[in-house]
Structure 1
Amino acid sequence: MTSRPIRPARALLILAAALPVAACGSQVDRLKQVGQAPPLSAIENPTASPGYRPVQMPMPVTEPVSYAPNSLWQSGARTFFKDQRARSVGDILTVKVRITDKAELENSTERTRTSSDSLGVQGVIGTQLLKILPDGTSADALVSSEGDMSARGTGTVNRAEAVTTTVAAVVTQTLPNGNLVIEGRQEVRINFEVRELIVAGVVRPEDIASDNTIDSAKIAEARISYGGRGQITDVQQPRYGQQVLDIILPF
């Protein structure tokens, strides 16, 4: 027995019929919770959840432990007590992001060009040309051209941005001179909108404070991105067709 393929029109009808049933089920669940607080989700094993993937991060090289007789210093420690600041691959430090940007620019340009050219032929050549050219043609002005072009443009930029937040970053690499390469990512989902903060760059261990924090202004080759994705961001962006037209249209 062979099954007949489902036509696109039939598939749309089945989907349209299933949507109200699914919506009705969710509405019934909401009606059951009238006057009650929203229930909390049960505690489950996160490794058993669908789509779970184990985290793989750069890890430091295992250092052999050495003991010195009659010594109070710990091997690998910078001070008498163990230093809690990040210094090895896999360590975590807190980045204090403080961005205050303000710019006011104004530009105005104006360009004007006027040109005039004329060409005439005298003597025997001019006399012969007049015989074959229409009546009323002058040999002094066989060819003439005039051009006038003007362009004017103005532009104004008035921008003010301020971002103040913190994000935890992981040391991903140790450079030969001792500097640390860090990268941190933070995602927060509120309803149907995801806010994403990314911080990456190179820091000096000496710039890390005693509380294992560092200011974003002390990050070399800093790459800081703060944005979002979701329904609100999608509505604020122009449609793909409009973006394509803005790129390919010359006018």
Structure 2
Amino acid sequence: MRNLKRLTGLIALSLAACTSVPEPTPMPDDPYYAPVMPEEQIDPAVANGSLFRGQNVNGLYSDIKARNLGDIITVRLQEQTTASKSASTGTSRNTNVDLPTPTLFGRDVTVSGNPISAGINGGSEFSGDSSADQSNQLQGEITVAVIRVLPNGNLIVRGEKWLTLNNGEEYVRLTGIIRPQDVRSNNTIESNRVANARIEYSGTGSLASAQREGWLTRFFNGPIWPF
């Protein structure tokens, strides 16, 4: 009875641990992914006798690539990963022990004229094989904003895109660091050129909830279930 109570208490504690910290539900217009707007500054009047202001004029060969705070850039998602792993293990062991014939007063002990002999033979063998294959692919585009310009000229970008569907919403979030040199002339860059990239693609609503396991199923499939 005492063991049953302990087992019941352990199961209740495990279930409480599985449900005590719910995962936060992503919401649109998260302030963390909001673009940073550059502050409006009034340029000081410079008496240079010209209609053009030298600090804002573009060069003859300047481009339209993002390089300042608040500029936007389109990231082309071209993510594809493939992993494969296999392992094979085999062990064997054999043991043989022969016991000598017992003696009594210098003579071998016999039964019906036959000497007594004994031996021990034992063996064990183990073999195991395992393999795992995983493949992921993500393609699309997301436009992000420059939220910070680093002293070396690199840009920290961040942004999100939400798609509202019939039975829920899907979203793509991206943050990372890019080099202005990697940005193409049409103001786009591939996702594999984004350093320290954090790409999140998921959804909310009834379709996303139907693909998640219930808390009781997660408990029985978790590492603390002993069977």
TM-score calculated relative to the size of structure 2: 0.62
State the partner residue of 1:199.
Answer: 174
Q: CA deviation at 1:196?
A: 1.0
State the partner residue of 2:109.
Answer: none
SS state of the match for residue 217, structure 1? helix
Corresponding position: 1:154 with 2:115? no
Corresponding position: 1:60 with 2:38? yes
CA spacing shift, 1:68–1:197, aligned 2, 3 Å:
farther
Q: CA deviation at 1:115?
A: 6.8
Alignment of 1:91-240 (within 5 A): 91-99=71-79, 101=80, 103=82, 105-114=84-93, 148=124, 150-157=126-133, 159=135, 161=137, 163-240=138-215
Q: CA deviation at 1:177?
A: 0.8
The structure with more strand, counted as a fraction of residues: 2
CA contact (8 A) 1:74 1:82 kept: no
1:95 aligned partner, one-letter code: V
Structure showing greater relative contact order (alpha-carbon pairs closer than 8 Å, 6 or more residues apart): 2
Structure 1: runs of 5+ lacking an equivalent: 1-51, 121-140
CA spacing shift, 1:191–1:244, aligned 2, 3 Å:
same
State the partner residue of 1:10.
Answer: none
User: What does the per-residue CA deviation read over 1:174-215, in whole Å, with 9 as the maximum and x for residues that have no partner?
Assistant: 111111100110111111221111111101122222332222
1:60 aligned partner, one-letter code: P
State the partner residue of 2:69.
Answer: 89
Q: How far apart are the structure 1 equivalents of 2:30 and 2:191?
A: 31
Of residues 219-228 and 205-214 in structure 1, the stretch that sits farther from structure 2 once superposed is 205-214
The structure with more helix, counted as a fraction of residues: 1
CA spacing shift, 1:82–1:193, aligned 2, 3 Å:
same
Q: How far apart are the structure 2 equivalents of 1:53 and 1:173?
A: 18
Structure 1 stretches of 4+ with a deviation exceeding 4 A read: 52-57, 61-64, 70-73, 115-118, 144-147
SS state of the match for residue 156, structure 2? strand
SS state of the match for residue 216, structure 2? helix
Q: How far apart are the structure 2 equivalents of 1:212 and 1:200?
A: 17
Alignment of 1:37-48 (within 5 A): none
State the partner residue of 1:33.
Answer: none
User: What does the per-residue CA deviation read over 1:44-101, in whole Å, with 9 as the maximum and x for residues that have no partner?
Assistant: xxxxxxxx999964233555525472665641555248753322222222212222x2
Q: CA deviation at 1:104?
A: 5.8
CA spacing shift, 1:79–1:245, aligned 2, 3 Å:
farther
Q: How far apart are the structure 2 equivalents of 1:104 and 1:233?
A: 26
State the partner residue of 1:242.
Answer: 217
RMSD over aligned CA atoms reads 4.0
Q: How far apart are the structure 1 equivalents of 2:154 and 2:128?
A: 50
TM-score calculated relative to the size of structure 1: 0.57
Q: How far apart are the structure 1 equivalents of 2:31 and 2:93?
A: 71
Q: CA deviation at 1:232?
A: 1.8
Q: How far apart are the structure 2 equivalents of 1:81 and 1:104?
A: 45
